[in-house]
Structure 1
Amino acid sequence: MATVTLKGNEIHTMGNLPEVGGTAPDFTLVKNDLSECSLSDFKGQKVVLNIFPSIDTGTCAQSVRQFNQEAAELENTKILCISRDLPFAQARFCGAEGIDSVETVSDFRSGDFGKAYALEFTDGPLKGLHSRSVIVLDENAKVLYAEQVAETVDEPNYKAALEALMDA
């Protein structure tokens, strides 16, 4: 179990993120058109997993905007923005914001992604949602960088995540 905070109050996740140097677990997530995708669909590409509780909060929305801006500069890299929001809400947000360089995907059907990556909240007001985290993978799903943001309302360390991509 990992401990983070939400506005200074302790909350917990199922465990710890996948370790740097290890292989990321496969997953099945739902795209905005309700089709499914898995990690294996991105083999041969670097992947950034931008994970957050809900796209309808300020910090989560900002992380999608920031990674969308950064994505335009990245070669052979896919950025997946992952939450338990319905794909309809994700598509609405992206359409309204002009987000077109990242892909929003949802763990709403089973929550298996949050469990496999041990980042599902187990208590507190966000119980059942995902902890704000960034995981960077190489072309073979090896974990290059993993950050679980200590204070849920704070943004992730974009610079460190992107540097991990460049160093790979």
Structure 2
Amino acid sequence: MATVTLKGNTIHTLGNLPANKSKAPNFSLTKTDLSSASLADYQGKKVVLNIFPSVDTGTCAQSVRQFNEEAAELDNTVVLCISKDLPFAQARFCGAEGITNVEMLSDFKDGSFGKSYQVEFSDGPLQSLLSRSVVVLNENGEVIYSEQVPETVDEPNYKAALEALMDA
């Protein structure tokens, strides 16, 4: 169980993010067109997993905007923005914001992503949603950087995540 806070109040996730140098767990998530996506679909690419509770909150929306802007300049890299929002809400947000450089994926069907990456909140007002985290994978699907944001309302360390990509 990992401990983070929400506006200073302690809440917990199921566990810790996958360790650096470990093979990232596979996943099956839902795209905005309702098709499925798995980690295998991105084999041979660097992958940024931008994980958050809901795109309908200011900080989550900002992380999608920021990674959308940064991703436009990255070679052989895909940014996957992952939440339990319905794919319809994710598509609406991207359409309204002109977001085109990231891929929105939903863990709404069975929550298996949140469980396998240990980012599902286990208690508190956000219980069963996903904790704000960033996991960066190299072309071989190995974890090269991870951050579980200690205070849920804070933004992730974009610079550190992007530097990990440059060093990979």
TM-score band w.r.t. shorter chain: over 0.9
SS at match of 1:93: helix
RMSD after superposition: 0.3
Mark the runs of 5 or more structure 2 residues left unpaired by the alignment.
none
- Counterpart CA distance in 2 for 1:140 and 1:21 is 10
- Counterpart CA distance in 2 for 1:49 and 1:118 is 13
- Counterpart CA distance in 1 for 2:140 and 2:114 is 21
Normalised to the residue count of structure 1, the TM-score between the two structures is 1.00
Deviation at 1:84? 0.1
- Are residues 1:79 and 2:70 paired? no
Note the 1:1-168 alignment, pairs <5 A: 1-168=1-168
1:13 aligned partner, one-letter code? T
2:6 aligned partner, one-letter code? L
SS at match of 1:53: coil
Q: Structure 1, residues 82-133: CA drift from partner, whole Å, max 9, x if none?
A: 0000000000000000000000000000000000000100000000000000
Identity between Structure 1 and Structure 2 (%):
74
- Counterpart CA distance in 2 for 1:60 and 1:51 is 9
Normalised to the residue count of structure 2, the TM-score between the two structures is 1.00
2:137 aligned partner, one-letter code? L
Mark the runs of 5 or more structure 1 residues left unpaired by the alignment.
none
- Counterpart CA distance in 1 for 2:50 and 2:104 is 9
Task: Count residues in correspondence.
Answer: 168
Deviation at 1:35? 0.2
